[in-house]
Amino acid sequence: MRSSVVNKAVSISLVVPVYRSGSTLATFYERASEALQKISSDWEMILVDDASPDETWSAALALREQDARVKVIRFAKNKGQQHATLCGLGYATKRYVVTIDDDLQCFPEDLHLFIEQLNAGKHVVIGKILSAEKKHSAWRNLASRINQKLISKIMGKPTTFALSSYRAMSLAVVRQLVKYQGSHPHIAAMIFNSVPVTMMTNVTIRHSDRADGDVSTYTFKKLLKTISFLIVNYSLLPLRYVSIWGFFVSISSILFAVFIMLRTLLTDHAVPGWASLAILISFLAGNILLALGIQGEYLGRLVENASSLSQFPIIEEHLD
């Protein structure tokens, strides 16, 4: 049974990456602030505008003028949800830190479910959206399943454990996450790299259509970009698979060469002509270029990290 008594010992930072939500941000604030106030009187809301092209920043400033507990940060360049979320986590100061999207597909009113689990001793609580409840498009659900399977393989996430961007953490966990200084954060992977699974749990949450009735701004390209962060920046799987494939191709090439030599020595069969040779060379050259491309991707990420002026392109902020 949900308690309606405000817990004075609990304080909450709500981190919200915002993008193109100028028309719905006030509604989000009303619902989220009401949910927060029912749990604790000590809370803050951190809005990180990911360089929105609409009136989102003006709406965020208006909320800041209305309520000093709202902190607003603005990016000069669009970097994506992962960067905006990690940036907001760096400004969190309260005992519990919650991340949620601005589109109101997840319900701020479900916040108490997360806080109850944190009060019970968990350090990470992640919202679980039942398949029948999801309002995402088919391709996004597919990409989400791929992302979750990759995290299971790379980071050891139990296959029964669900992921979403609606999550709550202790401040101790957040302090570990914000130590990351790379250019390609993946929040879920970072969590599983920092916290034992025994200290995490899922809570079932509701899901609805976007508040603005528009299609998601989280495009297929952005999802692929996030998955690439996970594969390249948090694992050596591509390099390992290419090494295994290279070994297989090398053995196959040696066996083919032995076959040609024996056939030439022991039979009168003519040596294959230029067509066979061209095919073999093209096949081997293609594999070499594939291997070099994957290694180049890793090297490119290293150069990008080393040459980055700052992790987050913050151009304006209003905090105190």
pLDDT at 19: 94
pLDDT at 279: 64
Lowest mean pLDDT among 73-87, 213-227, 269-283: 269-283
Rounded average pLDDT over 182-186: 83
Lowest mean pLDDT among 41-50, 95-104, 119-128, 298-307: 298-307
pTM of structure? 0.78
pLDDT at 1: 40
Fold that domain 11-235+311-318 belongs to in CATH: Spore Coat Polysaccharide Biosynthesis Protein SpsA; Chain A (3.90.550)
- Binned at pLDDT 50, 70 and 90, residue 150 comes out as confident
* Residue (of 105, 318, 58) closest to 209 by Cα position: 105
Answer whether residue 65 shows pLDDT above 80.
yes
Answer whether residue 30 shows pLDDT above 90.
yes
Domain-wise residue ranges, the chain = 11-235+311-318, 237-307
Answer whether residue 49 shows pLDDT above 60.
yes
Q: Give the model confidence (pLDDT) of 222-275 as tens digits.
A: 777 777 777 777 777 777 777 777 777 777 777 777 776 777 677 766 555 655
Answer whether residue 211 shows pLDDT above 80.
no
12-43 burial, b at 16+ Cβ within 10 Å, e below that, comes to bbbbbbbbbbbebbeebbebbbebbebbbebb
Tell me the HSE value of 4 on the side-chain side, using a 13 A CA sphere. Answer: 0
Answer whether residue 94 shows pLDDT above 70.
yes
